[in-house]
Amino acid sequence: MNLSKGRVIFASINSYTVLSENGEEYYSVLSGSFSRDNRGLPAVGDLVRFKKNENGDSVIDQIIPRKSVISRKSAGNIYSENVLAANIDIMLILTALDETFSVRRIERFLVLAKSGGVTPVILLSKADKCDPISLAIHLTEAEEVAGDAQVIEFSSITGTGVDKIEELLKEGVTACAVGLSGAGKSTLLNRLSGDELQSVKHVREFDSKGRHTTTSRQMFKLPMGAMFVDTPGIREVGLKGDTEAVEEVFDEIISFAEDCFFSDCTHVHEPSCAVIKAVENGEISRERYDSYIKLRRESENYKMRTETPQEQKRSDKKLARLIKTENKRKKKF
Ligand SMILES: Nc1nc2c(ncn2[C@@H]2O[C@H](COP(=O)(O)OP(=O)(O)O)[C@@H](O)[C@H]2O)c(=O)[nH]1
Ligand SMILES: [Mg+2]
Ligand SMILES: [Zn+2]
C-alpha cells in the first residue's frame, strides 16, 4: 500500500484534516484497518501514515509513535485518557490577570505538562487589565509555583510581552495553548499571526476534492515558524495516574520528605513527618500542601481504577488505608 506521511491539523469525531509533507491538506477518516493499539484515536499534532484516494480525500492508517502528549482524564466518572494534542514541544498555560487568576489551576496544568513530556511556559494574559501592584503580586505567586518554567506577563491588546512569546515560537516548534475559556488563547493566536487567521471560529468546509476551502483549522502555522494549537476552553483538567509528575511539580515539598521518620511516609498523619512540620512552621504554605495532597490523591485514584483485577485487589486495600489516613488528617487540621 502506498502510504504518505502527514500531520493531523484538525480532529473531530471521525473526521480529520491531515497536512501532507508537501503542504497539501487532505480530508481524512480512519481506514478500516486502522490500528488503535494503545494510542487510541488520532489527535491534533499526531504524525500519521495515510492513503490518498482518487477522489482527493484520504484515510488514516496508523499513528506514528508520539514523542510527547497533552492528555487528561476524561470528564466525569470515566477513567480513561483524553488526548488534547500530540507531539507538542511547549505548553502555553494561559491564566488571565483578573478574578479568574489561580495558581492552583497553574499547578494542575504543570502536572499535565510534566506527565506528557512537554515544556511548560506560564503566560499571564490581559496585563493591560491589571494594576501594577496586583500584577506584581500575581507574578510572584506564579513564580512561586512555576518550578523551572518561564513566566511571562503579556497583553494581546497593547502587545506588552508578546515579543517574549514570539521568541519561543521558532520554526520546528509546536506550541499548544491551554487554559480556561476566555483566558485569551484565540486572541493571542490572532495577535501572533497578524490578520491571516481571522476565521479562527468559522466552521470548516471542504470542496469536492476534500481540501479545505477556508483557513479554519485547529493547528496553525505562525509567521515566526512555529505551529500553534488552539484548544477550546478546558473546564475540567482531571489528572491521570502519573503520581511522579505530581511529585516533580511539588519538588520543594518532596525535598522535605528526606527527613521524615518513616521512609514510606505519606505526609498526611504520620508522626515525625518533616513535611507536616514544615507546613506547621510556615516553610510550606498550607494552600500549597493541600494542593499537593489533592493532586496526588487524584492521580492515585486514577491509577487504582485503571489497574487489572489483581492489581485492583491490592489497591482496594491501599485505598482503604488512604481514606483512613485522610480522615485522620481532617481531624488533625
Ligand atoms: N483586555 C484584554 N482583553 C483580552 C486580552 N486577550 C483577550 N481578551 C478578551 O478576552 C475575551 C476572551 O478571549 P479569547 O481569545 O476568545 O479567549 P479563549 O477562550 O481563551 O480563546 C475576549 O473578549 C477578548 O477580547 C487582553 O490581552 N487584554
Ligand atoms: Mg478560543
Ligand atoms: Zn512525611
Minimum-distance ligand 1 atom for the alpha carbon of 181: 19
Check whether residue 189 and residue 175 sit in a common domain.
yes
- Residue span of the structural domain in which 132 resides: 69-204+214-230
Check whether residue 169 and residue 280 sit in a common domain.
no
In order of 35, 141, 296, the CA distances from 146 in angstroms are 38, 9, 18
Q: What is the pLDDT of residue 2?
A: 80
Pocket test for ligand 1, best of 97, 187, 198, 220 (most atoms within 8 A of CB): 187
Q: What's the domain count of the chain?
A: 3
Residue 13, all three cell numbers: 469525531
Mean pLDDT, 10 residues at a time, over the chain (333 residues)?
89 88 91 74 94 90 94 82 92 96 96 96 97 97 97 97 98 95 91 65 41 52 94 79 93 94 94 96 96 95 80 68 69 61
Check whether residue 44 and residue 112 sit in a common domain.
no
Q: How far is residue 144's CA from residue 146's CA, in Å, rounded to a whole number? A: 6
Residue 238 lies in a domain: no
Check whether residue 92 and residue 218 sit in a common domain.
yes
Identify the CATH number of the domain in which residue 313 sits.
Answer: 1.10.40.50
Check whether residue 75 and residue 139 sit in a common domain.
yes
Residue 115 lies in a domain: yes
Distance of CA 272 from the midpoint of ligand 3 (Å): 7
Handedness of CA 36, 41, 47, 53 (dihedral sign): positive
Q: What is the pLDDT of residue 331?
A: 66
3-state secondary structure (DSSP) of residue 161: coil
Residue 209 lies in a domain: no
Q: How far is residue 70's CA from residue 43's CA, in Å, rounded to a whole number? A: 10
Minimum-distance ligand 1 atom for the alpha carbon of 156: 27
Residue 235 lies in a domain: no
Q: How far is residue 200's CA from residue 51's CA, in Å, rounded to a whole number? A: 28
Identify the CATH number of the domain in which residue 221 sits.
Answer: 3.40.50.300
Minimum-distance ligand 1 atom for the alpha carbon of 230: 21
Residues 153 and 97: beta-carbon distance below 8 Å: yes
Distance of CA 49 from the midpoint of ligand 2 (Å): 29
Nearest Cα residue to 233 out of 80, 78, 75: 75
Residues with CB under 5 A from ligand 3 (ion): 260, 265, 267, 273, 275
Check whether residue 44 and residue 81 sit in a common domain.
no
Q: What is the pLDDT of residue 316?
A: 67
Q: What is the pLDDT of residue 133?
A: 97
Q: How far is residue 30's CA from residue 258's CA, in Å, rounded to a whole number? A: 50
Check whether residue 57 and residue 82 sit in a common domain.
no
Check whether residue 174 and residue 305 sit in a common domain.
no
What's the pTM? 0.86
